[in-house]
Amino acid sequence: MQNMNQPGNQQQPSNMPQNQPMQNHGGHELFDAHEVIAGIISMLDQYQMYDQHIQDPELKDILTRQSAFVTQTYNTIVQTFQTGQDPQVPTGQYEMIQDNNTVYGIKPGQPKKPNASINELSDQGLSAYMLGQTKSLTSLLAMTAVEMTNPVLRRVIADTVPNFIELSYEIFLYQNKHGYYQVPQLMQQDMTQMLNSYTTVPQQGNQLQ
């Protein structure tokens, strides 16, 4: 009679699902995925709160479009996470509708300070909160993508990174246009010096020309 405890003869418990796609995840990956999904939920929840206080129709439109896109992204990630397979709706591509012209320079203004009450909420502050969330999620998604073991979930998370970069860029451009996010520049001489601090090198071996 064979010893059923010998290596190679171990049987799966009868109550364990066989060939279940969702088992194709490492433990660390599960924790990272939970952090990503929870972060997206937090963003969507807080966007709902911001929507009640935004005054500028342009900012409200940005929030509405971003919320709709991120909601679909959330569904895609959750479905991929649960099945380990290609989602029914693949990762989309977020496209902002404004130009990418940046206003450079700094203009004097009033020093910033924390709000004394919720009545002091402004479009400047609300757009800053939105930018903070999209930027932090961009970093989290990029860091998480390189930790994934499931190839489908890895691809979905990685493909989501450029979209959150675009979300952040859209909010930055809105803030910059309205003077909320000012962009200083170096003196022309210093900028030229830094731009010319490097030079290219000839490629070697079998590298493409």
Q: Could you read off the pLDDT of 169-188 as tens digits, one per residue?
A: 999 999 999 999 999 999 99
Please state, in angstroms and rounded to a whole number, the distance separating the CA atoms of residues 94 and 156.
Answer: 14
pLDDT category of residue 6 using cuts at 50, 70 and 90: very low
The burial class, CB within 10 Å (0-12 / 13-18 / 19+), for 24 is middle
pLDDT category of residue 207 using cuts at 50, 70 and 90: low
Give 24-105+121-194's CATH code, choosing from 3.90.79.10, 1.10.540.10, 1.10.10.10, 1.20.1260.10: 1.20.1260.10
The residue that leads in pLDDT, 159 or 12, is 159
Tell me which amino acid residue 150 is.
N
List CB contacts of 44: < 8 A, sequence separation 6 or more. 67, 70, 71, 74
Region 75-79 average pLDDT? 96
Residue-wise pLDDT for 87-111, tens only, equals 999 999 999 988 899 999 999 888 8
